[in-house]
Structure 1
């Protein structure tokens, strides 16, 4: 059976992920993502109102014209998890393909919300729910099967999809870390990965996220970040002024920890910001997390400002606002607070907890720097980097190669500079550039089996 891979997006940057695998006449698309930094550099861009061609020209979503060169029909669109760099282009591109969108429950719910918010295109692809550990047949030949393997990441309900073909398995390895003690959900299923490496014809190809490949050691568990956060919050328990926390809205495990520790130090947590309300509300509705009955979630601007007024009236020392804006996004809550555009007044000595890291990209770094300067100018004390990454470091990558023993390796989720540490690791394990190690660019085709 012919096996061909189209590296559509995410092979020159971190963002706008999209990869297609053709097995005979059947094609499966993995991810359709947004490159958020290409949007943020423009003022007041509303992607839901824009045409896909304009977003492609901006470099914000994948240029999927290479798909026309694949001699097969798309049978499934498979987003791996709910981050926008993996699902943010579905509302712009999925309608071009007569194929269902297949994802885990939380991811699918987020996709549905993206589709509902879309005002330019009508996306009526079927939405098919599939849990980690389940499989489904692809195409009519009965020879190709899609499997979801549970992984741990900085968003819940993440999987690595595996396409089983007569020539071996194609494992799409974006995004994960090896967490054996997660705060929410099951540990990464390394046992299944090792089985896949030994079954049948083994692993034909492994497509891997190279985000942290240049960092030695292993990525710590989310439980480590939870203990770090607990230590910080207990250290400021006796402060009688304002404490504000910010983290990734999609990081439900971290939000859960913030809510619990706020209660522990005698403060009422409240979630503020549109995306904070969306992700946490969805997770609670689907029973992935249980929040206190009195936890407020407010996304609408007027509701947020009313809540800030209530906090100022009843005393900042009684509350922990958990807000959007950890990257310094211009319209996010924390940025507005730093600019003095909310009823919440920061005073000298007030604490701001960044339970997140800056995404290492110039737009984010610049915006985050500006946000921190504004906060410091108002006297805020910054608690930074209370976080663990959602991506594998060097030893995690080594473990995955040992588990899967892939015949071919394709680095992804980075630019050429970001690929180089992973290339070095692969070469140390006997892979050779141009033979079985394929460094590629957006819009290319890789023929693995002719």
Structure 2
């Protein structure tokens, strides 16, 4: 059976992921993501009303026109998890394909939200829910399997295509967390079985976000412990405390809510994405917040929440807000610019329970946000966080576990691939032979 892999997006940057695997006459598309930095660099752009071709020209979503060169039919669109760099282009591109969108429950709930908010295209693809550990037939000779992984969002999976030539493992995005705060640990046992059964692993596509970093990525339980320590150190502070994290990081939001109450403060979630992600997690039963937890996404309701905090005393509250990357319209950035009723004063604490996404736009915006906060006297608690991506020792362990015949580095630019290339070469792989360093818009023939 011919096996061909199209590297459509996410092979020159961190963002807009999209990969297609052709096995014979059947094609499966993994991820359709957005490069948010290409949007944020423009003022007041609302992608919901934009045409896909304009977004492609901006470099914001994958240029999927290379799909015309693949000889076969798309049988499924499979987002690996709910981050925008993996699902943010589904509402712009999925309607081009007569294929269902197959995802884990939380990811599918977020995809529904993307589709409902779309203003330019009608997306009528069937939505199919599939749990980690389940399988689905793709055509007559190929099977799709979801393997549970741990990441900085719940419901993450690594999809595996089982073909007569061996398995194709799409390894974006994960860390090896054996003690997650929510959900099951990464299923390394199943990965080991896949590496040893049948024809083994034909090809492994791997996320290289942290491939230049030595050591091992810590568990989310480590971040939870660090966050608890930081917040307990503030228990006697009688001024304002504000926290920000990835809205999609439900485990981290859950920890912030719990620790706020532990130190006698009422948590309130503020910002549109905070309301969207936490609401979605509650709807599918992945997390249960108390009925009195306020979640406010619309501007007027957010403004009223800030007014209530100031009227009742900000020492009684912990606003958990959007804006960890310094996004211009996010809540924390507005607070730093003095555009809300919340009055930041000398000595107030701001907890960034998030790392900076390694991309120049994010780095610049985050720097500006922190400077605005400091100008108002805020004290910054930075990087109370652990990454959702493997470091070098995790990559080594995955190679040892899967023993793939071919490797394709993804989710980085050429500089970011360097650490992974060095590690793979140390394990006997050779660039141009079985280690395929590629870019957007290419196809790689694995089996002719």
Same fold (TM over 0.5): yes
- Cα distance in structure 1, aligned partners of 2:439 and 2:374: 41
Name the structure 2 match of 1:5: 5
Partner of 2:274: 276
Counterpart of 1:125 in structure 2 is 125
Gaps of 5+ in 2: none
What is the deviation of 1:284? 1.0
Kindly state the Cα deviation for residue 144 of structure 1 after the two structures are TM-superposed.
Answer: 0.3
Distance of 1:179 and 1:309 partners within structure 2: 40
Residue deviations 1:171-218 (CA, integer Å, cap 9, x gap): 000000000000000000000000000010000000000000111110
Instruction: Name the structure 2 match of 1:360.
Output: 358
- Matches of 1:437 and 1:365, distance apart in 2: 31
The CA deviation string for residues 46-86 of structure 1, in whole angstroms up to 9 with x for no partner, is 11110000000000000011111111000000000000000
2:58: which partner in 1?
58
For residues 65 and 380 of structure 1, the distance between their equivalents in structure 2, rounded to whole angstroms, comes to: 48
Q: Distance in 1 between matches of 2:50 and 2:298?
A: 22
Distance in 2 between residues matched to 1:64 and 1:307, nearest whole Å: 42
Distance (Å, rounded) in 2 between the aligned partners of 1:360 and 1:31: 20
> How many correspondences in the alignment?
448
In structure 2, distance between residues paired with 1:58 and 1:403: 39
Superposition pairs for residues 13-412 of structure 1, below 5 Å? Answer: 13-139=13-139, 141=140, 143-412=141-410
Counterpart of 1:423 (choices 421, 424, 439) is 421
> Which has the larger displacement, 369-378 or 170-179?
369-378
C-alpha deviation, 1:360, in angstroms: 1.4
Tell me by how many angstroms 1:292 deviates. Answer: 1.7
The answer for the alignment partner of 1:447 in structure 2 is: 445
TM-score by length of structure 2 reads: 1.00
RMSD between superposed Cα atoms in Å: 0.4
CA distance in 1, matches of 2:101, 2:340: 40
Distance 1:170 1:152 in 2: 19
Structure 2 distance, partners of 1:156, 1:420, is 29
Contiguous gaps of at least 5 residues in structure 1: none
SS of the equivalent of 2:417 reads helix
| Deviating more after overlay: 78-87 vs 288-297 | 288-297
1:290 Cα deviation from its structure 2 partner: 1.2
Q: Distance in 2 between matches of 1:20 and 1:281?
A: 31
Match of 2:430 among 424, 429, 432: 432
Supply the distance in 2 between the matched residues of 1:285 and 1:66 (Cα, whole angstroms): 37
SS of equivalent to 1:212: coil
1:147 and 1:185 map into 2 onto residues whose CA distance is 19
CA distance in 1 between counterparts of 2:219 and 2:229 reads 16
Give TM-score, length-normalised by structure 1.
0.99
